[in-house]
Amino acid sequence: MIMGFDVGGTNARGLLVDPATGATVDDDRTSSDGTGPVLLEKLVTMTRDLVDRNGVELTGVGLAIAGLASSRGTVHYSPNLPEIVEFAIGPELEKRVGVPVAVVNDASSGAWAEAKYGAGRGCADMAFVALGTGIGTGFVVDGRLLEGANGFAGEAGHMVIALDGPVHHTGQRGPWEYFASGTALGRLGREAAAAGLFEAGITLAGAPDQITGFHVAEALRAGDAHAAVVFDAFCRFVAIGITNLVLVLDPSRVIIGGGLTDIGEPLRSGVDDWLQQVLLGADHRPQVEVVLAELGSEAGALGAALVVLEDPRHNR
Amino acid sequence: MIMGFDVGGTNARGLLVDPATGATVDDDRTSSDGTGPVLLEKLVTMTRDLVDRNGVELTGVGLAIAGLASSRGTVHYSPNLPEIVEFAIGPELEKRVGVPVAVVNDASSGAWAEAKYGAGRGCADMAFVALGTGIGTGFVVDGRLLEGANGFAGEAGHMVIALDGPVHHTGQRGPWEYFASGTALGRLGREAAAAGLFEAGITLAGAPDQITGFHVAEALRAGDAHAAVVFDAFCRFVAIGITNLVLVLDPSRVIIGGGLTDIGEPLRSGVDDWLQQVLLGADHRPQVEVVLAELGSEAGALGAALVVLEDPRHNR
């Protein structure tokens, strides 16, 4: 059996996974606060508990972390988990559990889970785009997870798409994430409301400045015409970033994941329609498929477990 | 021996290459005008001539072409070679010469040549950025040429970096190429001259609207302070596109090639300095090396020859 963890800013989710099928055998959850050594202790304890109570043998552990996770097992930058930055969580955990440990960015692990057991099955070249508070991305190239020289590949949410655009909380001007995350969907809704063009949003949220992406999605579902205009603008922004990924990587499929997939088909078709319009040379190439993720919020932990089976470079 | 061709809008350059060393044994050149069948005949003739006069055995042919070159051997989009679009040049040539033929984009083949015998030696993850009339790019990922699902990977010159920016000749708004090609360097020079801030350029070119990238480079070399300002703005634009590539791919090295490498070290250091400033998280990752290409204008033909040795997917 293999363990997969998804360590977020609040919780660490752990899955005990059958490597032959990708099926979850057991699972648990703990808080992720505290220093590196404290988190390490929690991960060791949860691993031992799950292994013991299922009476199985452990062969590897994968750790998905939101941030710049080096393939050598150290997190170099993580606004959500500041206390574990520069702590060698991968090598330390490996010492304690005695099996190989892989540390990987959470969007890359989500991409790998979708590739193996989700919407990416059978597709050798694909891009996974998780739309949530920010934008996380992960890529599969020629059947393998794209990790890059340091394990930092897949930070495409920070790509600049408006070089003189607004300053994002990262300090950059005009990154993709500023325009096309769930946070951005809320801002577009607030802007429309302030312009008198989103009454339904004000009704749902209580006040114009309380509108979030959730309210835009809610109004869209109810058939509100103003919400549809806001959402169309949002889908264009998502598509522009995806065109950049298509031009660089030439995937045959793009998988949209993250919290915004709750919107469902309107999100998929909205992005798909804009992608065909804004992708240069779209008439001269096979149409890029746009599909929704299938695995939901456990993809990160599952993918981390599956990565440890594949990649001999981790922690080396 | 292997043949490598670089088929441009005007000429087709052919190299007979020793696959063991990458050394050019013989070479020739012909015009590239005419329809697909006419070009095919010229390539067959040149191949036979070079093979016969050197008394060698041919084991493969690579074709580098500016445009969307499918890994199945057909060019789907090529403004420079409109007459061969949708002509199955790869499979047709393969029938005539009786050895495997690979068709590849010219910037990708340049990247591969640099990876094997140029500035990319020993580097498993690298980005090649050719700055000329436009911007061509090619990528090596985990020691292999990144081709993508269709062979179309590496079209990063068309990445959008200014979504509300000026309309480029491709019809897109604000692609990287609009800001950071040799053509763009000339436009920046003309804009500076029109604003009264580039006298040296006017002197070199004869008139403000005659200034090209060449004149900016010439004035820069002569130590002109206004040219240095124009060039610094240009290097920032180059660096912004490179940050997008680094965020997606995480290369450890970026190789700058194309005609603008004649500028030399000021180009390398100008881009390098801006890259460290604009790359998000630059303090948290190993510094990306920025180096100049080593192989010059024959990299395209050489790389095409080397690709045919590597990739079993071509023409399949």
DSSP string, chain A: -EEEEEE-SSEEEEEEE-TTT--EEEEEEEE--S-HHHHHHHHHHHHHHHHHHHT----EEEEEESSEE-TTS-EEE-TT-GGGTT--HHHHHHHHH-S-EEEEEHHHHHHHHHHHHSTTTT-SSEEEEEESSSEEEEEEETTEE--TTTS----GGG-BSBTTSPBPTTS-BSBHHHHHSHHHHHHHHHHHHHTT--HHHHHHHSSGGG--HHHHHHHHHTT-HHHHHHHHHHHHHHHHHHHHHHHHH--SEEEEESGGGGG-HHHHHHHHHHHHHHSTTGGGSPPPEEEE-SSGGGHHHHHHHHHHHH-TTTT-
pLDDT, tens only, B245-297: 999 999 999 999 999 999 999 999 999 999 999 999 888 899 999 999 999 98
pLDDT, tens only, B26-55: 999 999 989 999 999 999 999 999 999 999
Asked if the Cβ–Cβ distance from B285 to A152 is below 8 Å, we say yes
Grade residue A6 by pLDDT with cuts at 50, 70 and 90: very high
Asked if the Cβ–Cβ distance from A162 to B158 is below 8 Å, we say no
Determine the average pLDDT of the residues in B58-79.
91
Grade residue A121 by pLDDT with cuts at 50, 70 and 90: very high
- Token pair belonging to B22: 């990458």
- pLDDT of residue A313 exceeding 60: no
- Report the alpha-carbon distance of residue B150 to residue A202 in Å, rounded: 46
pLDDT, tens only, B87-128: 999 999 999 999 999 999 999 999 999 999 999 999 999 999
Q: Residues of B with CB below 8 A from A247's CB?
A: 155-156, 158-159
Query: For residue B316, what pLDDT is reported?
Result: 43
- Token pair belonging to B299: 């990299």
- Report the alpha-carbon distance of residue B137 to residue B130 in Å, rounded: 6
Determine the average pLDDT of the residues in A44-49.
97
Q: What length does chain B have? A: 316
**For A137, which residue in chain B has the nearest alpha carbon?**
B248
Determine the average pLDDT of the residues in B174-203.
98
Asked if the Cβ–Cβ distance from B147 to A172 is below 8 Å, we say no
- Token pair belonging to A122: 């059978």
Which residue from B125, B151, B245 is facing A248, i.e. has the nearest CB?
Answer: B245
Q: In angstroms, what separates the C-alpha of A251 from chain B's closest C-alpha?
A: 5
Grade residue A315 by pLDDT with cuts at 50, 70 and 90: very low
Phi–psi pair at B63, nearest 5 degrees: -125, 115
To test the contact with chain A by mutation, choose from B76, B164, B244 the residue with the greatest count of A C-beta atoms within 10 A, namely B244
Q: Residues of B with CB below 8 A from A160's CB?
A: 161, 240, 243-244, 278
Q: Output DSSP code: residue B287.
A: P
- Report the alpha-carbon distance of residue A62 to residue A197 in Å, rounded: 47
Helix (H) or strand (E) segment spanning residue B284: none
- pLDDT of residue B3 exceeding 70: yes
- Report the alpha-carbon distance of residue A78 to residue A105 in Å, rounded: 10
Phi–psi pair at A135, nearest 5 degrees: -125, 120
- pLDDT of residue B315 exceeding 50: no
Q: Report yes or no: B171 at the A interface, CB cutoff 8 Å.
A: yes
Query: For residue B148, what pLDDT is reported?
Result: 96
- Report the alpha-carbon distance of residue B247 to residue B288 in Å, rounded: 11
Q: Report yes or no: A170 at the B interface, CB cutoff 8 Å.
A: yes
To test the contact with chain B by mutation, choose from A152, A168, A169 the residue with the greatest count of B C-beta atoms within 10 A, namely A152
Grade residue A281 by pLDDT with cuts at 50, 70 and 90: confident
- Token pair belonging to B216: 């900016």
With contact defined as beta carbons under 8 Å apart, do A2 and A308 qualify? yes
Q: What pairing do the DSSP bridges indicate for beta strands A11-17 and A24-31?
A: antiparallel
Complex ipTM over 0.90: yes
Task: Please state the pTM of the whole predicted model.
Answer: 0.96
Asked if the Cβ–Cβ distance from A280 to B248 is below 8 Å, we say no
Query: For residue B167, what pLDDT is reported?
Result: 96
Asked if the Cβ–Cβ distance from A148 to B170 is below 8 Å, we say no
Arithmetic mean of pLDDT over chain A:
95
To test the contact with chain B by mutation, choose from A86, A108, A159, A311 the residue with the greatest count of B C-beta atoms within 10 A, namely A159
Give the lowest-confidence range in A89-93, A109-113, B78-82, B270-274: B78-82
- pLDDT of residue A220 exceeding 90: yes
Which residue from B76, B164, B247 is facing A162, i.e. has the nearest CB?
Answer: B164
Q: Is the dihedral of CA A160, A162, A163, A165 positive or negative?
A: negative
Asked if the Cβ–Cβ distance from B250 to A148 is below 8 Å, we say yes
Asked if the Cβ–Cβ distance from A68 to B285 is below 8 Å, we say yes
